[in-house]
């Protein structure tokens, strides 16, 4: 009895994806699925925040609104008054620490003082506004002129990290890492899904090329 054996040919495309069946690849996919699930839940608010504020930044004039301004007056503490009585030395650390501790103002952009006249001014940039502090030694008062924008203006400045301090800057870096890992995990999962892989990769390429082409065609440059 004579039997014939049929050879099964494997297409080059199918061979190219054989690596996805290896034990190492399966472990990587398992980790990617785990990351994608928990990063998606962790980063939900982060992604929504930067998505929404990306839109509001692009249309800032729609959400600007009127800024709120005001002037608050406080009695000059004796310790500050005494320290400012010497025109030869300006107590920078004492003044800035007092304003940080009592009024939450830190990292002034500029400090100007004329101790002979008994006047000191400090400029504090803030997200969506500012605070300008005037210390008037002869009058024994501290005046804080302040301005703040609405919630949308505040969120726009938070998106940009404008006058938000080192801690918020670190949060932006953390958000960038989380969203990068989320995107990479999603691509790795796509590699495993044979049914959606080709269309998914095609859409990925389109997504990469679209902003580049948009930039080259429509963004002014020199």
- Position with higher pLDDT, 88 vs 141: 141
What is the predicted pLDDT for the residue at 6? 54
What is the predicted pLDDT for the residue at 86? 84
**CATH 1.20.120 applies to domain 66-149:** no
Instruction: For residue 20, give every residue at least 6 positions away whose Cβ sits within 8 Å of its Cβ, in sequence order, or none.
Output: 29, 191, 192
Residue 47 Cα distances to 26, 36, 44, 50, 157, angstroms: 28, 14, 5, 5, 16
β-bridge partners, 194: none
Stated as kind and residue range, the H or E segment containing 70 is strand 68-75
Query: Do 19 and 28 form a contact (C-beta atoms < 8 A)?
Result: no
- pLDDT, tens digit, 9 for 90 and up, residues 109-166: 999 999 889 999 999 999 999 999 999 999 999 999 999 999 999 999 999 999 999 9
What is the predicted pLDDT for the residue at 4? 55
> Phi-psi category of 43—alpha, beta or left, where left has phi over 0 and alpha has psi -120 to 50?
alpha
What is the predicted pLDDT for the residue at 74? 97
Using the predicted structure, report yes or no on whether residue 8 has a pLDDT greater than 60.
Answer: no
What is the predicted pLDDT for the residue at 56? 96
Q: How far apart are CA 69 and CA 132, in angstroms?
A: 11
SS3 content of the chain, % helix, strand, coil (to 5): 60, 15, 25
Residue for token pair 């969203």: 179
- pLDDT, tens digit, 9 for 90 and up, residues 13-70: 667 788 888 888 899 999 999 999 999 999 999 999 999 999 999 999 999 888 999 9
Mean pLDDT on 77-97: 91
- pLDDT, tens digit, 9 for 90 and up, residues 170-205: 999 999 999 999 999 999 999 988 899 999 999 999
Q: How far apart are CA 121 and CA 106, in angstroms?
A: 14
What is the predicted pLDDT for the residue at 14? 67
Tokens linked to 169 = 């800057």
- pLDDT, tens digit, 9 for 90 and up, residues 36-47: 999 999 999 999
Do the bridges between strand 141-148 and strand 129-136 make them parallel or antiparallel, or are there none, so unpaired? antiparallel
Q: How far apart are CA 185 and CA 198, in angstroms?
A: 17
What is the predicted pLDDT for the residue at 20? 83
Domain boundaries in the chain? 21-62+153-216, 66-149
Using the predicted structure, report yes or no on whether residue 2 has a pLDDT greater than 90.
Answer: no
What is the predicted pLDDT for the residue at 10? 57
Query: Do 94 and 85 form a contact (C-beta atoms < 8 A)?
Result: no
Band (3; pLDDT cuts 50, 70, 90)? low
Query: Do 156 and 60 form a contact (C-beta atoms < 8 A)?
Result: yes
- Position with higher pLDDT, 64 vs 217: 217
Give per-residue burial for 208-218: e unless 16+ CB within 10 Å, then b: eeeeeeeeeee
Residue for token pair 């090329």: 209
């Amino acid at each position: 009895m004579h039997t014939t054996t049929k050879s099964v040919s494997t297409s080059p495309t199918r061979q190219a994806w054989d690596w996805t069946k290896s034990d190492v690849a399966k472990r990587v996919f398992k980790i990617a699925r785990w990351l994608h699930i928990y990063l998606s839940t962790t980063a939900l608010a982060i992604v929504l925040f930067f998505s929404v504020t990306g839109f509001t930044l692009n249309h800032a004039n729609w959400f600007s609104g009127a800024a709120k301004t005001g002037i608050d007056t406080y009695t000059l503490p004796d310790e500050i008054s005494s320290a400012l009585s010497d025109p030869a030395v300006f107590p920078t650390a004492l003044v800035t620490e007092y304003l940080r501790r009592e009024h939450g103002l830190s990292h002034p952009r500029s400090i100007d003082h004329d101790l002979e006249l008994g006047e000191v001014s400090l400029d504090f940039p803030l997200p969506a506004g500012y605070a300008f502090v005037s210390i008037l030694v002869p009058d024994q008062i501290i005046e804080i002129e302040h301005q703040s924008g609405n919630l949308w203006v505040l969120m726009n400045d938070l998106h940009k990290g404008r006058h938000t301090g080192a801690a918020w800057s670190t949060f932006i870096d953390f958000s960038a890492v989380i969203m990068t890992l989320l995107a990479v995990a999603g691509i790795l999962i796509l590699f495993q899904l044979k049914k959606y892989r080709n269309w998914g990769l095609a859409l990925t390429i389109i997504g990469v090329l679209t902003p580049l082409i948009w930039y080259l065609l429509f963004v002014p440059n020199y």
